[in-house]
């Protein structure tokens, strides 16, 4: 039984960091005149209403996108991210684009988006969101098998976004194994795997497993959400990027530092980036 619903967290600081990095990865694929595919294997709903009961319960977006949307000095380099946010908010902040919508907003004819969501209600929302768009393919499968079954996509250039909730604790072990099987079938793919930093530090074992199982370059981008040091919820979150595009670390670092200056809660936010493995100089 899945109880996690992303609607409670949409537009919060962790989402802003994750989606800013996603947008930079998408820019990389769009820079060339060749089609690409994105597989969003834990897709969620597509777009989230910020006036919904769920979003209003914790108002996480007030610490995240609400602090950025109207700034006159928004970092131009994040144009793809801002464009997706602005497109669903023509008259003030009311909605937040999830990862599928950020991808959809900048797709060209010929690019492909494959989205997968297991929760029955979120899946129905996602299907409605996709409508009859010819280049969006919607699945309702367990991501742990779908990530292996759905790769490689027919367009062999692209990205898999792996954004689990880690609601089931075994996911800290099963996710890296599934990603490694998927990578083995598509070693040219770029994989971005989200993780939370919680008190138990389970993510350390996940990172170790990814490193052991996947013989590729891996870049880590991590955002400290600026909570009190004794806060017992999520303190930071990050993405491991497997096969990161050439020089993307410079783009991510610039964006991360800018976001960290604008965001934070009881403490200022912080961005940290490091290579877990880097073979190219
Ligand atoms: C963190 S949310 C996704 C947010 C989305 N990627 C975004 O950035 O807008 C994780 C989603 O995965 C779904 N989910 C959880 N376990 C799953 C599984 N085993 N297979 C597929 N989807 C799952 C949840 O219902 C939830 O909607």
Where do the domains of the chain lie?
12-47+99-277
Q: Can you tell me the distance from the alpha carbon of 203 to that of 187, in angstroms, rounded to the nearest whole number?
A: 23
Of residues 15, 40, 163, 224, which has the active-site annotation?
163
CATH class given for the domain over 12-47+99-277: alpha beta
For range 94-112, the mean pLDDT? 97
Residues touching ligand 1 (Cβ under 6 Å) are 2, 4, 6, 18, 40, 42-44, 98-99, 116-119, 122, 142-144, 163, 165
Contact 23, 102 (CB under 8 A): yes
For range 201-229, the mean pLDDT? 97
For range 116-144, the mean pLDDT? 97
In this model, does residue 281 exceed pLDDT 80?
no
Place of tokens 């319960």: 57
* pLDDT above 90: percentage of residues in the chain: 95
CA 279 / ligand 1 centre spacing (Å): 32
For range 113-125, the mean pLDDT? 97
**44 CA closest ligand 1 atom index:** 27
Q: Is 163 a catalytic residue?
A: yes
Q: Whose CA is nearest to atom 4 of ligand 1?
A: 44
Contact 238, 224 (CB under 8 A): no
Mean of the per-residue pLDDT values of the chain: 96
For range 219-232, the mean pLDDT? 95
| Model pLDDT, residue 129 | 98
Mutational test site, ligand 1, from 1, 3, 5, 6, max ligand atoms within 8 Å of CB: 6
Please give the DSSP secondary-structure letter assigned to residue 268: B
For 31-85, write each residue's pLDDT tens digit.
999 999 999 999 999 999 999 999 999 999 999 999 999 999 999 999 999 999 9
For range 151-178, the mean pLDDT? 97
For range 216-237, the mean pLDDT? 95
**19 CA closest ligand 1 atom index:** 8
Q: Tell the burial category of 228 from Cβ atoms under 10 Å away from its Cβ (0-12, 13-18, 19+).
A: exposed
Q: How confident is the model at residue 2 (pLDDT cuts 50, 70, 90)?
A: confident
Predicted TM-score (pTM) of the model is 0.98
| Model pLDDT, residue 280 | 65
Q: Quickly list DSSP for 212-238.
A: HH--S-EEEEEEE----TT--S--EEE
Closest CA to 37 of 152, 212, 159: 159
In this model, does residue 1 exceed pLDDT 90?
no
In this model, does residue 231 exceed pLDDT 70?
yes
């Amino acid at each position: 039984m899945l109880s996690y619903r992303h609607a409670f967290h949409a537009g919060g600081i962790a989402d802003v960091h994750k989606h800013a990095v996603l947008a930079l990865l998408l820019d990389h694929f769009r820079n060339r005149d060749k089609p690409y595919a994105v597989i969003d294997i834990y897709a969620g709903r597509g777009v989230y209403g910020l006036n919904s009961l769920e979003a209003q319960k914790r108002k996480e977006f007030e610490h995240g996108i609400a602090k950025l949307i109207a700034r006159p000095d928004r970092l131009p380099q994040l144009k793809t991210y801002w464009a997706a946010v602005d497109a669903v908010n023509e008259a003030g902040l009311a909605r937040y684009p999830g990862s599928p919508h950020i991808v959809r907003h900048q797709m060209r004819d010929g690019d492909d988006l494959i989205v997968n969501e297991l929760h029955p209600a979120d899946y129905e929302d996602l299907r409605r969101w996709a409508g009859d768009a010819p280049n969006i393919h919607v699945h309702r499968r367990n991501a742990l098998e779908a990530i292996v079954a759905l790769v490689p996509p027919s367009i062999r250039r692209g990205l898999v976004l792996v954004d689990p909730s880690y609601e089931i604790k075994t996911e800290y072990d099963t996710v890296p194994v599934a990603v490694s099987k998927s990578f083995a079938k598509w070693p040219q793919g770029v994989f971005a795997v989200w993780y939370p930093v919680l008190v138990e530090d389970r993510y350390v074992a996940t990172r170790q497993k990814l490193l052991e199982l996947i013989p590729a370059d891996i870049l880590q981008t991590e955002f400290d959400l600026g909570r009190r040091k004794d806060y017992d919820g999520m303190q930071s979150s990050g993405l491991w990027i497997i096969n990161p595009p050439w020089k993307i670390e410079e783009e991510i670092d610039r964006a991360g530092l800018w976001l960290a200056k604008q965001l934070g809660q009881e403490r200022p936010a912080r961005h940290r980036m490091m290579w877990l493995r880097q073979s190219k100089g």
